[in-house]
Copies of this chain bind each other. A is one copy, B any other.
Amino acid sequence: MCRRGTLIGIGVGPGDTELLTLKAAKLLEEIQVICSPKSSKDKESIALSIVDPIIREREDYDELTILEPLFPMIENKKKLEKYWDDASQAIADYLNKGIDVAFITLGDPSIFSTFSYVQKRLKDNYTVKVIPGITSFTACASACDIPLVEKNQVLTVVPKIDDRLEDIMSYSDSIVLMKTSRNPEELEKLIESKNKEKIIYSVENCTRDEEKVIEGFSKDKPYLTTTLVKFID
């Protein structure tokens, strides 16, 4: 029986190709199959656009296989699982032939990443490796030129605004709100209600060409907006 291929989850960072790690870039110069899920058939995959300048330089670019399974943004869990099952099966087909597959994902593969769905399905039967990436929130702090946390401060990363936010505000010195564009008014009201001095920055499309750093909350709704809230003692 031939050797099974390895699945490698690669964090490609927030947007700037230069924020790929040396390790990720090296691997993307050699790998034969790249899997890059997309949320809709008509949209370009952001992760793929980030690695594009690296893979375009390859002499064997035309022979590269790029899998683009659909991971739609729907709520129906059963339907979603079918999409993840299908994508995992498509990857497994290559692994079974002894071919390695790189699964690229925005930011870091361990933080709110679609990679976790295929990782869970394949890790028991295949070798899975992960190359960490720059998370959006540290890139946003860099763009705002502020430290996120210092000394004994507590940092909380929140993917969605729900009723836990009030408790979180009472113990956190800094809060990162991912994809805040989903419900900015509700968020703004909750944060402002906290009677403590604070600095607030929102970053749209961090490290991408269209990057925009805003003091306070974002009124636009680009998909990639992160808000940093820092309470001052």
List chain A positions with a Cβ less than 8 A from chain B. Answer: 9, 11, 13, 16-23, 25-26, 108-113, 115-116, 119, 123, 128-135, 138-139, 141-143, 145-160, 162, 164, 167-168, 170-172
Contact = CB atoms under 8 A, between A and B. Distances in A.
A17 B19 CA distance: 14
19 contacts: A11-B138, A16-B23, A19-B21, A21-B134, A110-B138, A110-B146, A110-B148, A111-B149, A112-B150, A113-B150, A116-B147, A123-B145, A129-B145, A130-B143, A130-B145, A132-B138, A135-B135, A154-B168, A155-B157
Contact of A132 (B19, B23, B150, B154): B19
A18 B21 CA distance: 7
Interface residues of chain A: helix, strand, loop or mixed (majority): mixed
A19 B112 CA distance: 20
B159 A151 contact: yes
Contact of A139 (B25, B132, B142, B147): B132
A173 to B, nearest CB: 10
A134 B11 CA distance: 10
Contacts of A162: 152
A132 B123 contact: no
Contacts of A115: 147
Contacts of A153: 112, 159
A145 B128 contact: yes
Contacts of A171: 164, 167-168
